[in-house]
Amino acid sequence: METKNWIDGEWTKGKGNTITVKNPSDLSETVGEITLSTVDQASIAADAAHAALTTWKDITGNERGQYLYAMANALEKHHEELATLASKEMGKPFGEMKGEVTRGIQLLRYYASEGVRSDGDVIPSAAKNVLQYTKRAPLGVIALITPWNFPVAIPIWKLAPALICGNTVLWKPAENGSLTAYKLCTIFEEAGLPKGVLNLIIGKGREIGTFLTEKADIKGLSFTGSTSTGLSLAEVCAKRNIKYQTEMGGKNAAVVLNDADLQKSLPPIISGAFRSAGQKCTATSRIIVEEGIYDQFIDALKEEMENVKLGHALEAGSYLGPVASLEQFKKMNRYIALAQKEAEIVYESKDQTTYDGYYIKPLVATGVSSNHALFQEETFGPLAVIIKVKDYDEAIDILNDTDYGLSASIFTNDLHRAHRFLDDAEIGMVRVNQETAGVEYQAPFGGMKQSSSHTREQGQAALDFYSIIKTCAVHYG
DSSP for 230-244 reads HHHHHHHHHHHT-EE
185 catalytically annotated: no
Cα-based distances in Å from 97 to 85, 91, 152, 403: 9, 9, 9, 30
3-state helix, strand, coil in the chain (%, to 5): 40, 25, 35
Choosing from 100, 175, 281, 378, the catalytic residue is 281
Tell me 6's DSSP state. E
Q: Determine which one of 96, 175, 247, 290 is catalytic.
A: 247
Q: Which of 35, 199, 229, 276 binds ligand ADP (CB under 6 A)?
A: 229
Q: Which of 128, 206, 239, 341 binds ligand ADP (CB under 6 A)?
A: 206
With CB under 6 A as the contact rule, which of the stretches 14-22, 45-53, 168-176, 425-433 interacts with ligand ADP? 168-176
| 205 part of the interface to ligand ADP, by CB under 6 A | yes
Q: Which helix (H) or strand (E) holds 112?
A: helix 94-113
Instruction: Give the other-Cβ count within 10 Å of 471's Cβ.
Output: 11
247 is catalytic: yes
Nearer to ligand ADP among residue 213 and residue 252 (C-beta): 213
Our finding on whether 209 is near ligand ADP (CB under 6 A) is: yes
CA distance 318 to 92: 10
* DSSP codes, 398-427: HHHSSSEESEEEEE-S-HHHHHHHHHH---
* Closest CB to ligand ADP among residues 210, 349: 210
Helix, strand or coil for residue 366? strand
Query: What is the contact mask toward ligand ADP in residues 57 to 96, using x (rule: CB under 6 A)?
Result: ----------------------------------------
Using CB under 6 A as the binding rule, whether residue 225 contacts ligand ADP is answered as: yes
- String marking each residue 424-453 x if it binds ligand ADP according to CB under 6 A: ------------------------------
Residues 144-163 contacting ligand ADP, CB under 6 A: 145-147
Q: How far apart are CA 460 and CA 110, in angstroms?
A: 10
Which of residues 38 and 400 has its CB atom nearest to ligand ADP in the complex? 38
Kindly state whether residue 226 participates in binding ligand ADP, applying the rule CB under 6 A: yes
Measure Cα distances from 129 to 123, 126, 470, 477 in Å: 13, 9, 20, 5
Phi-psi region of 200 (alpha: psi -120 to 50; beta: other; left: phi over 0): beta
Single out the segment in contact with ligand ADP by CB under 6 A; choices: 223-231, 267-275, 309-317, 391-399.
Answer: 223-231
Q: Which residues are catalytic?
A: 247, 281
Residue ranges binding ligand ADP (CB under 6 A): 145-147, 172, 174-175, 205-206, 209-210, 213, 225-226, 229, 233
